[in-house]
């Protein structure tokens, strides 16, 4: 987790930015240490991608089993990034039938409304299906399908883009 090395990364960003304002400085993270996100924002970070398997704390905790941080810290990191003007992507680990289930979709839409990400990057969750469902203790029904899931989000939040790669800062908006 790069936030564990925030001081070192902050120094590298400072040195880089003292030489040039070109290029996009991006961080992929679990968002576990909000104060470190703030520190990196302050020295010139441009973009951040924070990973989630779920917008619901119970399923986030069951999957990630965080030690020393919580889902609330992850959300706070997103808010800090946005308050500093960073381009925020949610790296959403997708498991069809869970991710596109009604309760999960509503929770994600609430999260989008709260933190206003610029992009959602959908990633296949490559895990044994039975192991995943057991690990999060999920017994829900079928989802609406990922295409309908994306359409529902776009209908409510047309400014949120779907993508697969981090954008250079010239293409943020």
pLDDT in tens, 110-155: 999 999 999 999 999 888 888 998 899 988 778 999 999 999 999 9
- At the topology level, CATH places domain 2-16+24-165 in TIM Barrel (3.20.20)
Instruction: Give percent of the chain with pLDDT exceeding 90.
Output: 86
pLDDT band at 1 (very low <50, low <70, confident <90, very high): very high
Q: Please, are residues 89 and 117 in contact by the beta-carbon 8 Å criterion?
A: yes
| pTM of the predicted model as reported, rounded to 2 decimal places | 0.94
d(CA 39, CA 45): 9
Residues paired with 51 in a beta bridge: 91
Taking only the tens place, the pLDDT of each residue in 72-89 is 999 999 999 999 999 999
Chain CA centroid to CA 129, Å: 22
Q: Which of 75, 61, 148 has the alpha carbon at shortest distance from 113?
A: 75
Taking only the tens place, the pLDDT of each residue in 23-59 is 999 999 999 999 999 999 999 999 999 999 999 999 9
Tokens of 33: 């240490």
Averaged confidence pLDDT in the chain:
95
């Amino acid at each position: 987790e790069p936030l564990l090395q925030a001081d070192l990364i902050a120094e590298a960003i400072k040195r880089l930015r003292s030489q040039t304002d070109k290029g996009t400085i991006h961080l992929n993270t679990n968002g576990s240490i909000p104060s470190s996100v703030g520190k990196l924002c302050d020295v010139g970070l441009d973009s951040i991608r924070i990973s989630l398997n779920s917008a619901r704390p119970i399923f986030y905790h069951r999957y990630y089993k965080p030690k020393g941080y919580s889902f609330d810290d992850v959300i706070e990191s997103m808010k800090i990034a946005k308050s500093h003007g960073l381009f925020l992507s949610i790296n959403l680990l997708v498991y069809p039938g869970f991710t596109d289930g009604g309760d999960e979709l509503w929770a994600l839409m609430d999260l989008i409304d709260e933190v206003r990400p610029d992009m959602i990057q959908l990633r296949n969750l490559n895990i044994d299906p039975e192991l995943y469902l057991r690990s999060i203790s999920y017994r829900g029904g079928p989802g609406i399908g990922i295409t309908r899931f994306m359409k529902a989000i776009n209908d409510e939040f047309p400014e949120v883009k779907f993508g697969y790669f981090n954008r250079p800062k010239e293409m943020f908006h």
